[in-house]
C-alpha cells in the first residue's frame, strides 16, 4: 500500500513541477482503483475453516510417504488472494506436491489441497499450525491468521529381518513332562491354532474335530511359555551415542525375530534409568518396544556409582536366578557394561552379544580432524582390548554392521560358544 501511495504522490509532485495537468489526470483512475479495493474487497479470514487428514500416524524411517490433505472452506465473502502454508518438521521433506499455496477463494467455496512428505529419522513429529494470509488483489490490505491445527505422528526405527538367531531352547525348557511334541518337553505351553498334519507329528496332537470337518488331518500347534525366559537388554547409555541408530536398529530387528517365532520376550532399556518391560508375546509387545525405541536417546546418570547401583537393584533382581537366555545389545564402549555382562555370565545366563560396529560410524565421517582421528584410534584400541576379554568369556557374538564399507547391508555372525 505504501508503495502505491508513493507512486500517486510522485505523479502529483511531478505534474505540479512541469505544470502538466494531463499527467495529473492519471492520478484519478489510480485513486479509484485504490478506493475500490479498500471498500469492495474483503480480506477477513475469520470465516475460513481448515481441517487436516493424514494417511498414517506411524511410518518407518526408511522413507515411507505420509500423505496429507487440507480441506479449506470459506463461509464468508470472496478473498482475492489467499496464501496458505502448512508447517512441516524441519527434518522432513515434501515429496509430492507442496505445502505452500496461493490462490483465489470464492464465497462459500470448498477446496482440498494435497501433498506428501518423507521423514528419514526416528522420532515424534507434528504437522502444523496452518498459516493463512489473505489480501486484496493489489495487496493494499493484508490479514494474517494462524490456525492451531496440530497433527502428530511418529517415525519408528527401520529393521532388518534376521534369517536365524541362536535360541538355546534346551536351556529354557524342563526335561520332563507330557505335551504333544517329540522335540520339546514340559507342561508350560499355549495353544496357538490348528494347521495341517505333517509327517512325524504325534497322533495325540491331532485335532479330530477339525479333521472331521475338512476330511483331512489337522494338528494342534503350541507356543511354549518357557520361552518367556528370553530377554533383550538394550544399552543406550551416553557411550553409545555415536552408534545409537545402529543399536536401535539391531534391537528392533532382534525383537521382531524373537516375537515372530512365538517367543515371549522381556525387555530392558539401560540409559539414565533402567526401564523394564514385562515378558509378553505377540505384536503388542513389539509395538511397546517400538514405542520405547522411538524416544531412546543416549543418556547416563550423573554419578557412576548410581549407574552400578541401579543395575544391581533394578535389573538383576527382576531376572530369573539363572538359566535365562539374554540378547545383550551394546557396543560395549563402557567398562561398566562389560562388568555387568560378566556378572550375568556368573549367574548362569546364556548370553548372545549383538555388537554395533564403530567402523560403520567412522567410515561415514568425511575429512575428520586430527583430534577426531586420534579419538577414534583410542576408542578402537579400547574396544579391541574389551573384545579380547569378551572372547575369553566364550560368548556367542553377532557383529552388527548393516552399512558396510560400500554401504551394502551385511551382518557378520561369529559363534564363540
Tell me the per-residue pLDDT of 148-184, one tens digit each, with 9 for 90 and over. Answer: 999 999 999 988 887 777 666 544 443 333 334 444 4
Q: CA nearest 404: which of 354, 367, 359, 356?
A: 359
> What pLDDT is recorded for position 283?
86
Q: Check pLDDT > 80 for residue 370.
A: no
pLDDT band at 350 (very low <50, low <70, confident <90, very high): confident
CA distance 172 to 161: 24
Q: Which domains does the chain have, with CATH numbers?
A: 48-156 (2.60.40.10), 226-414 (3.40.50)
Strand runs labelled E in 298-405: 325-329, 350-356, 396-401
Mean pLDDT (whole number) for 345-364: 74
What is the number of H-type helices and E-type strands within the chain?
A: 10, 20
pLDDT at 59 over 80: yes
Count the Cβ atoms, other than its own, within 10 Å of residue 63. 13
Residue in 273, 284, 285 with CA at minimum distance from that of residue 232: 285
Amino acid at each position: 500500500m505504501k508503495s502505491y501511495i508513493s507512486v500517486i504522490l510522485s505523479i502529483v509532485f511531478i505534474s505540479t513541477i512541469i505544470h502538466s495537468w494531463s499527467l495529473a489526470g492519471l492520478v484519478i483512475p489510480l485513486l479509484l482503483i485504490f478506493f475500490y479495493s479498500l471498500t469492495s474487497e474483503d480480506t477477513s479470514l475469520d470465516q475460513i475453516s481448515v481441517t487436516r487428514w493424514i494417511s498414517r500416524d506411524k511410518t518407518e524411517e526408511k522413507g515411507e510417504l505420509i500423505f496429507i490433505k487440507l480441506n479449506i472452506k470459506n463461509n464468508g465473502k470472496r478473498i482475492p488472494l489467499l496464501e496458505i502454508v502448512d508447517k512441516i518438521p524441519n527434518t522432513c521433506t515434501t515429496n509430492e506436491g507442496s505445502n505452500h499455496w496461493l490462490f483465489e477463494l470464492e464465497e462459500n467455496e470448498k477446496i482440498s489441497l494435497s501433498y506428501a512428505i518423507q521423514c528419514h529419522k526416528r522420532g515424534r513429529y507434528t504437522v502444523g499450525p496452518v498459516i493463512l494470509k489473505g489480501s486484496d488483489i493489489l495487496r493494499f490490505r493484508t490479514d494474517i491468521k494462524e490456525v492451531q491445527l496440530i497433527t502428530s505422528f511418529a517415525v519408528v526405527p527401520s529393521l532388518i529381518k534376521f534369517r536365524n538367531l541362536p535360541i538355546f531352547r534346551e536351556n529354557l525348557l524342563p526335561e520332563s513332562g507330557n505335551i504333544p511334541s517329540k522335540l520339546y518337553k514340559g507342561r508350560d505351553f499355549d495353544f496357538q491354532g490348528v494347521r495341517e498334519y505333517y509327517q512325524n507329528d504325534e497322533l495325540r496332537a491331532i485335532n479330530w474335530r477339525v479333521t472331521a470337518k475338512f476330511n483331512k488331518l489337522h494338528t494342534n500347534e503350541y507356543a511354549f511359555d518357557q520361552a518367556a525366559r528370553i530377554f533383550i537388554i538394550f544399552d543406550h547409555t551416553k557411550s553409545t551415542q555415536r552408534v545409537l541408530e545402529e543399536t536401535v536398529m539391531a534391537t528392533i530387528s532382534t525383537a521382531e525375530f524373537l516375537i515372530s517365532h512365538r517367543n515371549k520376550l522381556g525387555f530392558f532399556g539401560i540409559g539414565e534409568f533402567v526401564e523394564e518391560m514385562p515378558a509378553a508375546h505377540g505384536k503388542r509387545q513389539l509395538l511397546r518396544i517400538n514405542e520405547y525405541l522411538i524416544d531412546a536417546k543416549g543418556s547416563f546418570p550423573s554419578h557412576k556409582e548410581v549407574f552400578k547401583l541401579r543395575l544391581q537393584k533394578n535389573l538383576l533382581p527382576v531376572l530369573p536366578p539363572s538359566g535365562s537366555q539374554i540378547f545383550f545389545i551394546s557396543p560395549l564402549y563402557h567398562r561398566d557394561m562389560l562388568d555387568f555382562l560378566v556378572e550375568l555370565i556368573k549367574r548362569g545366563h546364556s548370553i548372545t552379544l549383538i555388537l554395533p560396529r564403530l567402523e560403520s560410524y567412522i567410515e561415514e565421517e568425511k575429512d575428520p580432524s586430527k583430534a577426531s582421528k586420534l579419538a577414534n584410534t583410542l576408542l578402537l584400541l579400547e574396544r579391541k582390548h574389551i573384545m579380547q576379554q569378551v572372547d575369553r568369556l566364550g560368548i556367542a557374538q553377532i557383529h552388527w554392521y548393516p552399512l558396510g564399507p560400500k554401504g551394502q547391508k551385511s551382518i557378520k555372525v561369529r559363534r564363540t560358544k
